[in-house]
Structure 1
Amino acid sequence: MTRKRKVDRRRRTPAGLRFAVLAVVVATGLVLLVVYTRPASAILASPAAAPVSLGDRLAMSSEVGSPGPGGNRAHRTLVVYDAGERDAPNPPADADEAGMAEAFAMQTANLVSRAGGWTMRAAADYRPGEIGGYQALVYVGSISDAVLPAALLADVVTAKVPVVWLGENVDRLVAHDPGVTARWGWTPAGRTPASPTEVRYKNVSLERNPEIGSVPLVRRENPAVNEVLADSVTAGEHTPWAVRSGNFTYVAEAPFSYVNEGDRYLAAADILLGTLAPKTSERHRALVRIEDIGPRTDAGQIRRIADLLGGQGIPFSLAVYPYYADPHGVANGGRPTFARLVDSPALVDALHHAIRRGATLIMHGYSHQFEELANPYGGASAADYEFYTAIVDKNNHVVETGPVPGDSAEWFRGRIATGLGEFRRVGLLEPEVFEFPHYGGSAVDYKEVSSHFAARYDQGSYFAGYCPRGACGSTSTVSYQNKYGQYFPYPVRDVYGAVVIPENLDHVAPEPFNQHPARLPADLLADGAKSKVVRDNVASFFFHPFLPLEHLNTVVLGLRAQGYEFTTASEVARG
């Protein structure tokens, strides 16, 4: 029977903590657009800059399924997943189960891109001998009793290329060919009696949320012909979580639910990379990004950050939105306030200074808020979403609700073109990397940004229905009720065709806010240490400039002490 599992990629909102007080004035439920006449005391911005011609920019998008940074163009993997069909007399999976299965396939394909190209296929659509056209196959098993054609089972048990089987239905291979257990040296043996709370990989303890539930149990019968790569741990009892037998690697779950920063997901990401690209060398790089910089940001603090990092030879990124809007004055004593980069010469000078000290500018949206909507706080830049809507519910949790009114590719292009114009008219280089505010945007927006920037720098948002039966690119079939986030331990090219520079350690948050607990420098460093289980990883965090700089220095020095080498976002994007 299929077990429904909540998918809750915990992602702290990259928001201005200085605006936390705004949550007090937000009524629970959706806050509607307020239309009013702006008072005469409003501080107004200069007229908008002339939009740039987006046709002049080099596109970053590539054919969906192309290799990501560092990937081998001669290597292609077939990613097979459960699309919702189940063997009779079982009913088909419901929409949520099928959507989760598709999302897990997308997340797997994203990781696979680090090694090479990929093709995604619903398992029920597999054709006899299809594996012969690929250098590897990965099966993503998230629906038990899924329809698995006999041809797929036969091709897997006789495969000459590496096969990675994630999660459910491994017993179907044994039912098809009982002799396979002798070759593996192990046999499926039901499920763990309780939910594991830990995965041990490379002698490192990785988190596993017990709410996920049990996993398939492996009974080793001939250790001479297999290798246990990782153990799951339940009440101190160790059982194999990942085991390799020749060219067949089994991982006891598709580990994409309840994923946190120091999660067992890291083990699966490394196992995939090591299986599909076994010659990958050990390398550990780090990135730091200074977040939520806009026309009202303290220019002196930007200079101090630039001198702190530049003085240590640490390259860094500055996430800049070029237009500040606080239409209700919630962050300015009730006085509506607006500004553009051209209205903030001291900040522009500080940005030029930072570039000279090793900074790279990232475009962090246009205004980091949406029109006059409380989205979800008070409508002010750096606090609110820009390309997606959100509310604060009765539990004081931020809940994302869907695309903004009027969302379209044309609308998105207009904001990007005008925003880039703001950089251009003050003499700043137009950013080649984009970051969605709060990592929130529609599938239309995510797909569109790929045409105008060299890379994204974020944790991606992925939607069920974008890759129906493995054919990625369909924005018309997307379900915005089934949204999934994913961080990456290394650079990838995702299902939107975009190169993604990873952010995976989150940020320093001295106080809890909404549903998110406090997160201190020690927490980031603990997860940075765990992340080194990935053989070629990037430990990447961001920092808000209004926080004490000793927090920033602590994380930077700590990551260096762990053996990380800081580099540039553009270098990571190249592989």
Structure 2
Amino acid sequence: MMFGLLISPTITQAQEISSEKVLIIQSGEEQQSMKEQKILEIILGQYDVTSETILDTMMTKEKIKSASAIIYLGIEKKQLSKELIEELNTFSGKFYAIGHNMEQIPRMSWLNLEGEVLIQHLVFSEKEQALPEERIIYKINVQLDEIQQVAMTTDGTRIPLIAKQANNYYFAAETLSNPFGTILAESFQSFFNKQPTGFVRYLRLEDIHPKVDAKQLREQAKFLKEKEIPYMVAVIPVYTNENGETIHFSDVPELVETLKYMQKNGASIVLHGYRHQYRESETGEGFEFWDVENDRPIYQKGSEKAKQRTDFATEKDYQQFINEGEAFERKYITAAIENGVAELVTQGIYPLAFEAPHYAMSQQGYEVVSRHFSTYIGRIQISDETYKSEYQPSNASRPAFLHGMTVYPETIGFVEQNNEQSLQLMKNQVTNLMNYQEAYISAFYHPYLGIDGLKDVVDILGEVDAPWLDLKAANNQVTTSTIKLSSEKGQIQVEKLLFERKHEKKEKMKRIVIYGIILVGIVGSVLVFIIRRKTS
């Protein structure tokens, strides 16, 4: 990862035409610094900017001159070079500094740093929002008219979190993990001179696989149709379990008809993996694109014993295994997407976006998905170190490491079975997000929990005065080796290439065999009946 950052700077293109060229100068080379960089990329992906990230040691005068704005990301405490200090101080454009090393930059001397302090709350007018845990920020002393955002210390003292003077901004936190990332994203409205777009709601029905109860799903679809709510349906084409049971949608025509009904009446289909499992777990429970038992990317077949570093005599041999594993992962994800899209389209179901099971996927995985989908749904894994490292922006975003994909984030969670507090937690998150000027208020729901729980979620989302996201109304592109799908203004275009015919032929042959067996059974029964009558 470090090699990639040094050799090939990150380019973020939020729109094809951009009015801002942002240079991110980063101090910090550890894994945590890379996570913070990813979060910043996601935040910037919400804006009409093109950005490039470089390490502070790689700064050049040419890079500085080409930028209309600079963001300094001080993740690591260190001594900055004299050249960097001089270039930052003489830069005439907008400047946003985050975290450490401000005392070394003369243009930020107005901050009056007074050490570090623990905070417990954010303050919005007269409202307070508790942080998930205590956070460390720099204590700064500035004039009141320079303060953009206030925090509250453990003893109840209010101190600045974001401050500005002229075209210089400062964010006093040492991490961008939420809710700090959401606060920074809102601060960028002023920095980039952008008007807030308000709130957007979305609802997603999750884990719809071939063993789902079609009648229960139809009931919920009718309810959402009556409410005139557009929504998404995360679909898994194949159900399997540890006992070897395998069911495809072609085996459950009633469920297919229900999905078509949903697609016709407000639903947009999301491909939620192919089997939603990797080793021997049940579909919907297991991970598919992350080896959760070893907390690493998919390097081998699920049926194989996972190889570890101790299985190799040398580091060179182990690195060879990793290289081969990365090649395997690319083929594995590509096959899942190709098969998943083909099986759905053969049934008349048209996926417009992709969602990784449990939101778990490697950075290479996102690159593979981006070759096939323009739209991604949910939260984003920001490290290959662990699937537990994830982030969701407050708004739709197009970060660099999603390679052109737009992510529509899930922000308020879901109804958890046997957790009576989950609805209240969702309500609390809505309340927190409403402190901002724009955000997605988005949730998902598992239909097996029944119609009453769905109504509860709709009621929570109904408290927000905002439009619903209709994915079909957006411009989505899906491309495989055999199929092209696109949507715009509520219409879906389907183009089947010549090679796709094999899937249709397979389905036709399957139907012929089934109908043949039924016909043989009927004929056999009639012959037996006739023979018995003659013999009697």
TM-score by length of 2: 0.76
2:300 matched to 1:405?
A: yes
Change (3 A) 1:539 1:500: same
Q: What is the one-letter code of the residue matched to 2:200?
A: R
Taking structure 1 as reference, are residues 203 and 166 closer, same or farther at Cα in structure 2, changes over 3 Å only? farther
**Residues 151/310 of structure 1: CA separation in 2 closer, same or farther (3 Å cut):** farther
Flag the 1:235–1:402 CA change in 2: closer, same or farther, 3 A.
Answer: farther
Question: Which has the bigger relative contact order, CA under 8 A and spacing at least 6?
Answer: 1
Alpha-carbon deviation of 1:553? 2.1
**Which residue of 398, 402, 406 corresponds with 1:496?**
402
Query: Separation in 2 of the partners of 1:134 and 1:339?
Result: 55
**Using the alignment, how far apart are the partners of 1:206 and 1:307 within structure 2?**
38
The residue that corresponds to 1:529 in the other structure is: 431
| Equivalent residue number for residue 238 of structure 2 | 323
Q: Do the aligned partners of 1:199 and 1:264 also contact (CA within 8 Å) in 2?
A: no
Inter-partner Cα distance in structure 1 for 2:416 and 2:190: 34
**Aligned equivalent of 1:269:** 185
SS at match of 1:550: helix
In structure 2, C-alpha distance between the alignment counterparts of 1:281 and 1:223, rounded to whole Å = 24
Flag the 1:446–1:566 CA change in 2: closer, same or farther, 3 A. same
1:448 CA displacement: 0.2
Match of 1:154 among 67, 74, 86: 86
Structure possessing the higher radius of gyration over alpha carbons: 2
Q: Specify the alignment match of 1:347 in structure 2.
A: 255
How far 1:77 sits from its partner (Å)? Answer: 1.2
AA of the residue aligned to 2:448 = F
Find the counterpart in structure 1 of residue 283 from structure 2.
381
Secondary structure at the residue paired with 1:427?
Answer: coil
Which residue pairs with 1:253 in the alignment?
Answer: 173
Asked if 1 retains the 8 angstrom alpha-carbon contact of 2:150 and 2:158, the reply is: no
The alpha carbon displacement at 1:180 in A equals 4.9
Residue 463 (structure 2) aligns with: 561
Distance 1:208 1:305, change over 3 A: same
How do 1:543-558 and structure 2 match up within 5 A? 543-558=445-460
Partner of 1:305: 220
Distance 1:138 1:449, change over 3 A: same
Q: CA–CA distance in 2 between the matches of 1:387 and 1:482?
A: 10
Report the structure, 1 or 2, having the larger helix content: 2
The correspondence for 1:424, drawn from 345, 354, 372, is: 345
Contact 1:521/1:551 (8 A) holds in 2:
no
Alignment partner of 1:442 out of 358, 362, 374: 362
Change (3 A) 1:102 1:256: same
The gaps in structure 2 that reach 5 residues or longer are 1-8, 302-327, 477-487, 489-536
- 1:481 to 1:390, Cα distance in 2 relative to 1, 3 A: closer
5 Å matches for 1:78-227? 78-84=23-29, 98-115=30-47, 116-128=49-61, 130-145=63-78, 147-173=79-105, 177=106, 180-181=108-109, 184=110, 186-192=111-117, 195-212=118-135, 214-220=136-142, 222-224=143-145, 226-227=146-147
> What is the identity, as a one-letter code, of the residue corresponding to 1:200?
V
Deviations 1:467-502 (A, max 9, x none): xxxxxxxxxxxx535973110111111213122111
Instruction: Give the direction of change, closer, same or farther, for the CA distance of 1:160–1:533 in structure 2 (3 Å limit).
Output: farther
User: 2:353 matched to 1:433?
Assistant: yes
Mapped partners of 2:149, 2:17: distance in 1: 24
Residue 264 (structure 1) shift: 3.5
C-alpha displacement at 1:129, in angstroms?
5.7
Among 265, 272, 285, the residue aligned to 1:364: 272
Q: Distance in 2 between matches of 1:503 and 1:283?
A: 16
Aligned equivalent of 1:485:
390
Alpha-carbon shift at residue 136 of structure 1 (Å): 1.5
SS of match in other structure, 2:224: helix
Percent identity, aligned pairs only, is 19
Shift of 1:169: 1.5
Shift of 1:559: 2.5
Q: CA deviation at 1:445?
A: 1.6
Per-residue displacement from partner, 1:372-397 (whole Å, max 9, x unpaired)? Answer: x24xxxx1100100111123xxxxxx
Secondary structure, in 3 states, of the residue corresponding to 2:61? coil
CA deviation string 1:281-318 (max 9, x = no partner) = 34111111100000001111221221121211110000
